[in-house]
Structure formats: C-alpha cells, structure tokens
A and B are shown apart, each in its own frame.
Chain A
C-alpha cells in the first residue's frame, strides 16, 4: 500500500475547474450491513470522494476492501447508511426508491464485468433499453442507438443477439448502452475482467477514446494496478477507507 502525499484531489486537477464541475461529491459515507443484529458490519467507514466533470478515475482495492459496496453507492443501486452524496447536483442519500431508478437511468451508465446484455435481444434493442425506460420516442431511440453502435465499432453487428457476439463485442455493445442517455458518469466494474488481454486492451482504448473525444466522466473499478495507472487519478481503498490518491498517467 503506497501512501502518497497528494491526498488533496484538487491538487491533481487543472486550477480553472469550479465547484459546478463536481459530478460526485461524497462526504463521510458510511455503510453498515445488518444494522441492529449480532452480525452488524460496517463496511465503509466514512469515505470522502470528489470527482470532477470529464475526469477518468480508477478505484482500486483488493477484494473485501469495500470496493463493490462503494461502487453500488456511487451507482445509486444502494444508499449509504449515513453521509452525504450529491451526484451531478442531486441529493442521492435522501432520495426515495422511485427516484433512484430515474437517477440511475439519467445519470449513470453501467458497464459490468459480465456484460449483462439482455439475452435474445439484439444489440440495437439492448442499446435502446435505457432510452426506452427514459421514455424517448421510438425513432429517436433507434437513431441514437445506431449512432452509438457506430461509435463503438459495432455498426455492422447491431442486428445480432448477444449469443452471436464475442466477449469484446458484447462489452462494446454494453459501453454503447451505458452511453445511451448521455449519463453524467460511466461506471465500469472490472470491464476487462472477463476478456483476454487483446480485447481487454481494445475496451480500455474505447474508454480512453470516450474520455478524450466525448469528454465523458468515467469511474473505473478494478483490482488491476496496470489498468488503474492508465487513468488520471487512482483512488485506493482498503478496509473501507480511502488510503491513497495518486495521479495516473493519463
């Protein structure tokens, strides 16, 4: 565990960025499971995390460090037990269940290790799905889904079902899907974990491309130090605490 001196995240960023550009603002996030029961367990012990618009960030940590729990909270799949969380200006910690769905739909683009494309549903329909839940019109959905599939290099295979696609192709469709509603952040959970090194490289290149060309805010959750090093900032968590923040190579 390498402790670095630049614990202040602002110091690693260009000086002209204002607080308006804060996409994620987490203060003293605590997550406790099985509250009030004998096996009560505090997983996150007060996380402070700030992510700026257009930032490419990696969260690293070994299994059991609280990485997944933090990711679930960032991704609005779960609410913190205590603490404040503002996502793109929305108070997530105090939102109701119904609101969480629409926050996820509008603000977050998930990319999973296991792709999680909907089976028996074409690549095009998969990419359309988040827009379907957002109530986007049919013609607009199709237009944007095609555009996104072209962007990730899957324009030729948009009519194929997931089981007709290779792992790398599935992940590219999943990334296109994550982009569908133009979310505030793309949250990628071990996106190369199920891929070989060559296709994994292609997926990482795609993230770099989206970051560079589209200015996307990307949060990459990984246990790989090599992949994390490619990003702009590396946040290491261990035992439910952020133990270090380093500048990456990007």
Chain B
C-alpha cells in the first residue's frame, strides 16, 4: 500500500467529516498560529529595534548619570552633571578608541516666524559629534562646530523644510536671520547650515499626532543650535546627563564601555554619593533587547506547546473514535490481505494529515496575524522560513506521536472480531 494511496484515502475520510476534522484540528491550528504570530511579530519588532540601533551606531556607547541609591529622586545637581572638561580628559585618555562625543539637550518646541511665513520647530542644543552619531545629511552650509560651542553663538542648522518655508529655497537660507518664538522668548539665529529632513521619520509622525497637527507642513522639524547656546538661553546647568560616545571602528565597544565607566568613577564620581556614570555600549543594549524578545518568545512557545499538546490529545481521541467506527472496515481490509503494518501506516498517515492541514491553516493564520500586528505597529512583517519549517515539523511529529497509539490499536485488531463488529 503506497503512501499516495494512504494520503488520498485520509483526505477522503476527512472530507466526509469536515466539521469533525476542523474541530479536531483546532488545537493544532491555535497552537501553531500563536507561535507563528508571535515569532513574526517578534521578528518585526526585534528587526526594527536592531535596525534603529545599528543606524544610531552599533559601535556607540551611551554615558548616562545613574542614581547610586536607586531611589526615585531625579534631582540632579549641577555638580553631578558630566562636563565638557571630563569628556575632553576622557578623549585624551583614550585617543585611539574615542572618535567623538555626541551630546544633545532639548530646549523645547518653538516656531520660526516672519510675517505670514512660519515653520514649527523642535529646538535642540547639540555638539559637533551629534551629526556623526545621528547620520545627518547636510544639503548646504555646515553643521554646528566646536567654535560655535566656545562662542555660544546664536547659529542654527535647520531642515530643508524650514528653509523652504522661511526663505523659499535651501540656498537662500544660508546666512539668513531666523526669528524663533519659544514660549515667552524671542531669539534671533543666523542660519549656517541646512540638513535633509528624513521624510519617513516615525518619531515626527508620532509627535505630530500627539500634538493634534493634521497638516504635514505643520509637523515640527529639528532646529539645531550649539549646546552651550542652549544652556545660556534656557538657563540650564552647564553639563550633560547623557552623552553618546562615538567609538572608532574595530574598537570593542563593550570593553571600552567598562573602561569608561571605571574612568569616570575613579576620576570624578568617587566622592559623589548620589550619582555615578553608567556606560553601556549599543551592542549591549541590542543584546539585552534581543534577550528580552527571546524570553518573551520562549514564554509564548511554552503556552503554544501546551496548546499543541492538548491539540495532539484531541487528535488521538478522534482517531480512537474513528477506528472504533471503522472496525468493520479494518476487519475487511485485513480479510483482503492488509498486513498489520499497512493498517498502522494508514491511520498514522491519517493522523499526520490532520495535523499537517491544521498546521498549514495555523501557519496561514499566524502569518496573517503577525502581518496585521506588524502593520498596526507600522513595521514590516517578517515571517521566518525557519519558524514555518519548525511548525510543519512539529505538526508532523504530533501526528505521528498521537496517531501511533490509535493506529497500533487498529493494526492489532482481531480480523474475526472486527468483521463481526456491529
């Protein structure tokens, strides 16, 4: 009795009892669909996080102030902050490892206005290294530099959008005066550079939605000024609570992170009871994210595994019912010369087919669910071939495992008893 005959036989049998077959498959369908959905969705999220992190620089290190006491008191004194001087010393300590520092300070939202022309802005104080760490593409002019920092100059780097809105063109904006209204204050800046606004920036979209701005032109774009200028204008303490270290290529960023952490502790924060500097490489962050995702996937897999187990028991149950119903058929087949092995094979194939069809439906539903979820999150859907392969393999394994006992029971039936069965 060849396999193809068995498969067509099994499918005929299932079609005769469509509802029952579907209900039997339900456990398998739910289990497999859950696994595939979570894996697809997890991959989308993980992929996006990794991409974003990589874009920000996989080799970068975050330096941030960390409360020693772990008390939720967020009062940071001026003396606690990381200073420009500390960064310079750090760079002198590790000249071959550190390429630059990237720092930014949010000033708030503002608006550039000139008569009827306006452009919404998100004001940030930055240093020269910020451009490197954030992959900013300049269209004209230059970015904020160290001289601007020293002089605390009122210079600004604006987006091409703002340049268009305020000056008519990117070229015309260079050297232009920009009046910025921020809260009660009005500041005048000289435009020294224009960068390319990233159209697909999800953060800008989110901010626009939160601020209830419908017109695309009203979405605020970043306007950069020297961080020292921002301290002066906003009256902030001069120092950073968070700095990104841009490491040179081929530097072991995890190792550098621990060395920087030690350096700051030893040189500056030994006597600080409240704060220390915590250094963490992007690679470490990505690794942590991935490990969180893996843990989540594992938890869902356990639940799915239980669902599959229950599904498998359901399949076994229905197979036992099926062979009882078909006792006479089994007897007849034996009388016609079917060996025990071929009867066993027939029912195992049937059980495997139930599980495989269930698995296939589950995979389809899972991909659909994962894609839907990913779309809701605004991420590309990333179903993996390996998860589908594992799902199919598991379906088959469940079919064989839970089909074996009923099939063996059928195979061992006494043909005389089976033929006489009413």
Contact = CB atoms under 8 A, between A and B. Distances in A.
A76 to B, nearest CB: 9
A77 B416 contact: yes
B335 A120 contact: no
Given A72-B416, A116-B328, A101 B5 contact: no
Nearest to B418: A77
Contacts of B339: 98, 101-102, 133
Contacts of B416: 72, 77-78
Interface in B299-344: 328-329, 331-340, 342
Contacts of A119: 329
B338 A133 contact: yes
Given A118-B329, A120-B12, A105 B419 contact: no
A77 B335 contact: yes
Interface string A72-116: 100101100000000000000000011001101110001010101
Interface residues of B, number: 23
Chain A interface extent, by class: 20 to 34
B340 A133 contact: no
Nearest to A75: B335
Contacts of A181: 337
Contacts of A132: 1-2, 5
A104 B335 contact: yes
B332 A101 contact: no
Interface string B1-24: 110010001001100100000000
A118 to B, nearest CB: 6
B12 A121 contact: yes
Contacts of B335: 75, 77, 104, 110, 116
Interface string B386-422: 0000000000000000000000000000011001000
Interface in A106-146: 106, 110, 112, 114, 116-121, 129-130, 132-134
Contacts of A172: none
A177 B337 CA distance: 12
Given A77-B416, A112-B419, A132-B5, A118 B338 contact: no
A104 B337 contact: yes
A102 B12 contact: no
A115 to B, nearest CB: 9
A104 B13 contact: no
Contacts of A98: 339-340
B336 A177 contact: yes
23 contacts: A72-B416, A75-B335, A77-B416, A97-B340, A98-B339, A98-B340, A101-B334, A101-B338, A101-B340, A104-B337, A106-B337, A110-B335, A114-B328, A116-B331, A118-B332, A119-B329, A120-B13, A129-B336, A130-B337, A132-B2, A133-B336, A133-B338, A134-B337
**Which 7 pairs from chain A and chain B are nearest by CB?**
A105-B337, A116-B332, A133-B337, A101-B339, A130-B336, A110-B335, A104-B337
